[in-house]
Amino acid sequence: MRDNTLKYLLVLPAVVVVFATAIWPLIEAARLSFTVGRLNRPGSLDQYLGWENYAWAFLEEPAFWNSVWVTAVYTTLTVGLTTILALGLALLLAPGGRLRSSAQTLLILPFAMSPALIGVSFRFMFNPEFGLFDAFFGVLIPPLADVSWLADPTLAFAVVVMADVWGWIPFLTLVLIGGLASVPRDTIEAAQVDGASGWRVFRDVTLPQLGPVLAVVIILKSIFSLKTFDQVFMLTNGGPGTATQTLSHYIYFNGMKYGQIGYSAAVAWLMVIPMIFLTYAYAKFVFRKG
């Protein structure tokens, strides 16, 4: 067998798997998004409807726009907070930083937890009757002890953001520690001798050289934030009301709960668009030449 043929044969299984599990569902979802697509109506999965599902989402559904808004705010907050906090931690933990590196091992633990588990445990911790935080506040800040964290729209949102930031900081920190380690020490020391203060060394020399790693981190975290589902599902189930309903949750609810497969396929496709941009940007940074 020629090397060339063998080459393609070896790649083929992977291509088949990706096609069957990712490409085909995408195509099928695109088809469904143009049908009536109701699970409780036989034949409706093939009943062509044109762009009506899309029009419905844009024009008739405040809940859609609500979930877009929730997702946007959620993504902005989680990406921003996680990146900033992880960068701070990485600076402390990096070689030559101020904390011993044994702390690095401890740090990875939250990331080892599944997002669903994080959701459940945070729900328990914030329970107003027997939650851990409730006990804490009872002793330290009594006025906060009786707050029903997950019943208030703003607070519930804050708790969801917090749980996500908590879960993601370790991974981002580790990546950034790696990034910091690859910044040549010479350049930092040169800046110190040249007369820069600690802050200016960071701003003028460390941060610009960390740029590509930081970009990858932000893009990656944005992708994960945009598609957040499990934590929301376990922690608040989108509530109270729709205060914490992300797009993924909205899609799931419409498709699985209300049986509106056609409509939820259309919304899912709307979500694919920013994802494609982000994935493209990510690939560009990761597979950058030089």
CB 204 within 8 A of CB 115: no
CB of 196 to another protein, least distance (A): 5
- Residue located via tokens 């209300």: 258
Q: Are 176 and 90 in contact (CB under 8 A)?
A: yes
What is the smallest separation between the CB atom of 203 and another protein, expressed in angstroms? 10
Min. distance of Cβ 178 from another protein in angstroms?
18
Q: Which is nearer to another protein, 29 or 205 (by Cβ)?
A: 205
Nearer to another protein, 141 or 190 (CB): 190
C-beta of 41 vs 185, nearer to another protein = 185
- Site residues (vs another protein, CB under 8 A): 184, 186-187, 189-197, 200, 204-205, 208-209, 211
Residues 6+ apart with CB under 8 A from 194: none
User: What is residue 35's DSSP assignment?
Assistant: B
The position carrying tokens 């024009």 is: 59
Query: From residue 171, how far is each of 60, 102, 231 by CA, in Å?
Result: 40, 16, 17
State which residue, 88 or 211, has the beta carbon closest to another protein. Answer: 211
What distance in Å separates the CA atoms of residue 64 and residue 56, rounded to the nearest whole number?
Answer: 9
Q: Closest separation between CB of residue 204 and another protein, Å?
A: 7
Query: Distance between CA atoms of 242 and 260, rounded to whole angstroms?
Result: 18
In the complex with another protein, which residue's Cβ is closer, 59 or 193? 193
Q: Please report how close the Cβ of residue 35 comes to another protein at its closest, in angstroms.
A: 52
Phi, psi of 48 (to 5 degrees): -70, 135
